[in-house]
Chains A and B, each alone.
Chain A
Amino acid sequence: MSRPQREVVFVDGVRTPFGKAKGQYAETRADDLVIKSIRELMRRNPSLPPERVDEVAIAATTQIGDQGLTLGRTAALLAGLPQSVPGYSIDRMCAGAMTAVTNTASGIAFGAYDVAIAGGVEHMGRHPMGEGVDPNPRILSERIVNPDALVMGKTAENLHDRYPTITKQRVDAYAVRSQQKTKAAYDAGRIQPDLVPVATRSAEAGWGLATTDEPMRPETTMESLAGLKTPFRSHGHVTAGNAAGINDGATAALLADEETARELGLPVKMRLVTYSFVGVEPEVMGAGPIPATEKALRLAGLTIDDIGAFEVNEAFAVQVLAFLEHFGIADDDTRVNPYGGAIAMGHPLASSGVRLMNQLAASFAERPEVRYGLTTMCIGIGMGGTVIWENPHWNGLASNGADS
């Protein structure tokens, strides 16, 4: 059989507002966060007949309790999608939703699907990282993996060792800017369109409604950050202020074959160019985005200079700065995370990949001079993932939109 080349497009993406662990979603189920995201996606795209969804891939790092039971399938059923729509669960730690996107996108490109839903959830308040894990004793006995690999904060301190020029001052300054950019983005109404409000149950206080990211601390200053403890290493660098927190939230995106999208009258917000996942030393997992991006650029036949918009997950400020330093990009380059990032908004592990894509899509719409952008993130147990996207709104005027 002949296999025509099919372009994969990002039609739309939504997410719940993110919560602080034990905060606004303390009495809300993880699967309900996913279900509300899927329903919002379908509500926003009424021209998509629900039975045309060919797959629902939902990621979660801890797949037990309300994040278990083949979440992609059960969430699809509970969201009211037809019984004929299948689903499954995915785990690639922090890059769960990103992997859900690349998996289903690959299926679309291959011709197995026309339309897919990809997303992720992590309710870290209910499922703290490492819940119920049973690490193989060989990790210690045979020193196959440095035990630091299982403690993300330690891997971030290790990254500081690798990049001694990234000082405490620089990571804190980056964190303050992230908070300020997110505040500005909210004030300008740039984040809200991505959000689906979530009713929050509280037995004590009654029902409420989550409409914004709970973790934000716009009042953060260099001074307030300077006093925070460095829990992973005494006199270290990594604090609660220059890292993403422990968060709850879910995301969902709609992907489609480009021709199908046009046939169904669905919007095209981004076009997938390529993606890559690459492994690194597990104890320095924050370095992962660097080789992942190099590989993706190579696959795409692009250079870093062709990229006009970056959405880099801010698991740790040091991991963003290591990436920027490697590629010779300034700490405060306006192409990078223009709306702020996970340090301010939160990082509910497996959900974050689609948040990055939502924001890159918003950047694309705002900046037609940009042709290519990328979303990248570091991944626990030593990996990086990068997805390169093309801007369908590109006006052909400038090559990369760099403001230099």
Chain B
Amino acid sequence: MSDIFDRAAALVSDAERVTQAHLRTVALPGVTFGLITLDNGEDHTKPNTFGPGSLLALNEAIDAALADDTIDAIAVTGKPFILAAGADLVSIQGGGPDAVRVVGELGHATFRKLQDGGKPSFGLINGLALGGGLEVALHCTYRTVMDSAPALGLPEVMLGLVPGWGGAWLVPNLVGADKAVTLIVENPLNQGKTLGGQAAYELGLADAVFNGADFLEQSLLWAASVVRGETTVSRPAIDRGEAWDAAIERARGIVAAKTGGASPAAAKAVELIAAARDTDRDTGFAAEDDALHAMSQTPELLASLYSFDLVQKRAKRPAGAPDRSLARPVTKVGIVGAGLMASQLALLFVRRLEVPVVLTDLDQERADKGVAYVHAEIDKLLAKGRISQDKANRHKALVSGETDKQVAFGDADFVIEAVFEEMSVKKTVFADVEKVVSPACVLATNTSSLSITEMAADLEHPERVVGFHFFNPVAVMPLLEIVRGEATDDATLATAFATGKTLKKTSILVEDSPSFIVNRLLGRFMSEVGRIVDEGTPVSVADGAFAGIAPMPPYQLLSLVGPAIALHNVETLKGAFPERFYVSPALERLVAARKSGYYGPDGQLDPSVEELLEKPASPVVLSAGEVRERTLSGLAEEARLMLDEGVVAAPQDIDLAMIAGAGFSFWNGGLTFMLDVLGISEKVSGQRFH
């Protein structure tokens, strides 16, 4: 076998933005450091990364520092605000089938010189340090961290990988298994949560923490005192007994709850942490190499990288959105209605846009009730310390309730309706509003299923109407479907997207169509499952068929959404597409009986609900696998039809919507990517989505 550095050199390509490793000596009394600065020559918006070329550059700098007899100790830090953001996934992806293994071994071979080289080493974490960026510091004998560093973490599991440059073995051996589980498993599965510098220090990842104003100076002075023996670094002993088992048990619980066992990377990471208790470093690193290689062969890795790209890039530049320069300023927002949804919208708009928001209703009492709701929510945020008193005062003062539409909307730039989901009601509302607003005022509707085109049809200015569909709970769910009606013009659309961005939502453009993206697909999902259960398959089998596929079992989802809303959705869809959508008589009975869901508080099927279920004469009982296959086939058909109809620009929009609006999995790549991987797309339509 040839030298790993030679093998890696063959992988270096022009596609990699090489992070250089500049070596300089820094002489302090009694100690001369070889200070290595990682710097890719870009500003902080393009962080340092490690591809093969970058690792070889670092290897060369470490070798030079080790070979220089005037250098007593090595320190590694990064360009301003950034240590490194981990592996350069793009250049590694392009390196062929062996690239992951080679780059994995190269990282180990390079980083471990920091501990095996015979000179003490210091990782000076001066800012962002993710994945390999944190691991390079973990290999050092000692670490300091900047208290204000924005993000430290090992997010690999989120991406379908494991911390394979030493992290999976070094972290549990540095801070114990429980904290390792938090860092390596729990945080990545918690939407990629990262730690600030101070928190990372408290977790034990660094031996000293310094203020950002003179972090590097104080780190080097501290390091010098360590080398001179004036400062002794002590770390708490690690409990390798029961605590280790307990941590692994906890990790398994987290993985089961968050992935249903569907993410091989999460399970593998737990395995590596478990093994790190008794294995030596060489064995641990070899296991990481094997794990990285194994992960690189899984569809979940590609799916995760695909999802990462969706939420990092496509979510920020929505496909089909008009040029943002066309957007008009929104200096005042009007809301038609003052019920719960309207009040939630008011809270969101006032917190994000910080402009006057007026809730309207037929009588002042109802309008005031809406305002009171918003004020109470603001007070809750204040009590939790999430906002200051001044901010609370400002936001409360911006919300008002009004019955006179002229007063409320006369100078508004954006009016959104959140009234009863009935076309005639909405049309009346918009006709009334149009009488009092300026011609340029955007009229937005939060309808979840009605036609935007039809809603705008009788207005004087139909071009100003746009769909603005939020997901419940409005404050939490990131997705916003922005719906273009036939007449909607670019200025209106651009204003809607600009507003969505200020609201910090993931906006996706949808053409006017029944139930848009998420509700149409969930409607199809519930149609298929409903039909299967009505034909005789037990609810428990149906609910057990989607582990690792859907965010939750279908009948739990139905309870969460609310049976009435779910029923309304499938009815709308059946009206539009009677041949594919199915309204379950059982569901109709459930709604008529005002049941809030299928399950009782004990988590068991509610016996009173069970009586309302269909009782087919000759039940057809499917297996969980058959339920899954049939339902996913339905979804594949529906997604393909949506693309053929031009509802969205590309399958990427469907997947982003299902991840952001319906909680579909990152590591499955949302919906269509998963359907490709499972082979269902081709079976259904003869073609893949990707």
Contacts and interface: CB of A to CB of B under 8 A. Distances in A.
* Most chain A beta carbons < 10 A, residue from B27, B77, B213: B213
A244 B626 CA distance: 87
A36 B22 contact: no
Contact of B213 (A35, A205, A209): A35
A199 interface: yes
B213 A79 contact: yes
A36 B217 contact: yes
B213 A39 contact: yes
A197 interface: yes
B24 interface: yes
A206 interface: yes
Name the prevailing secondary structure of the A interface residues.
loop
Contacts of A224: none
B39 A209 contact: no
B35 A80 contact: no
A208 B33 CA distance: 10
Nearest to B215: A199
Interface in B30-54: 35-37, 39, 41
Nearest to A40: B214
Contacts of B215: 199
Which A-B residue pairs are the 3 nearest by beta carbons?
A206-B22, A206-B37, A199-B216
A203 interface: yes
Contacts of B26: 208-209
A211 B36 contact: no
Contacts of B41: 203
Nearest to A27: B80
A198 B217 contact: yes
B28 A199 contact: no
B60 to A, nearest CB: 14
B521 to A, nearest CB: 49
A78 interface: yes
Given A35-B213, A198-B217, A211 B28 contact: yes
B27 A203 contact: no
Interface of A: 32, 35-36, 39-40, 78-80, 196-199, 201-209, 211
Interface in B257-311: none
A83 B403 CA distance: 45
Given A206-B35, A207-B77, A208-B35, A39 B28 contact: no
Contact of A209 (B79, B211, B220): B220
B211 A207 contact: no
A196 B39 contact: no
Contacts of B80: 201
A39 B220 CA distance: 16
A204 B24 CA distance: 11
A206 B211 contact: no
B211 A80 contact: yes
A39 B214 contact: yes
B23 interface: yes
Contacts of B211: 39, 80
Nearest to B216: A199
A147 B641 CA distance: 82
A209 B28 contact: yes
A164 B273 CA distance: 83
The interface centre, meaning the residue of A32, A205, A207, A211 with most chain B CB atoms within 10 A of its CB, is A207
A196 B217 contact: yes
A207 B213 contact: no
21 contacts: A36-B217, A79-B213, A80-B211, A196-B214, A197-B28, A197-B220, A197-B221, A198-B217, A202-B22, A203-B79, A205-B24, A206-B22, A206-B24, A206-B36, A207-B22, A207-B77, A207-B216, A208-B35, A209-B28, A209-B35, A209-B220
Contacts of A208: 24, 26, 35
A207 B37 contact: yes
A117 B169 CA distance: 49
B24 A199 contact: no
Contacts of A209: 26, 28, 35, 216-217, 220
Nearest to B36: A206
B217 A206 contact: no
A207 B35 contact: yes
A198 B80 CA distance: 14
Contacts of A196: 214, 217
Contacts of B36: 206
A207 B221 contact: no
A206 B23 contact: yes
Contacts of B217: 36, 196-199, 209
A205 B27 contact: no
A22 B39 CA distance: 21
A374 B85 CA distance: 54
A198 B220 CA distance: 10
Nearest to A192: B29
A234 B80 CA distance: 46
Contacts of A211: 27-28
A35 B211 CA distance: 12
A34 B98 CA distance: 52
Interface in B75-105: 77, 79-80
Interface string B172-206: 00000000000000000000000000000000000
- Residue in B23, B24, B80, B211 with the greatest tally of chain A CB atoms within 10 Å: B24
Given A39-B213, A206-B36, 14 more contacts: A36-B217, A39-B211, A39-B214, A78-B213, A197-B28, A199-B215, A199-B217, A199-B220, A202-B22, A203-B79, A206-B35, A207-B216, A209-B28, A211-B27
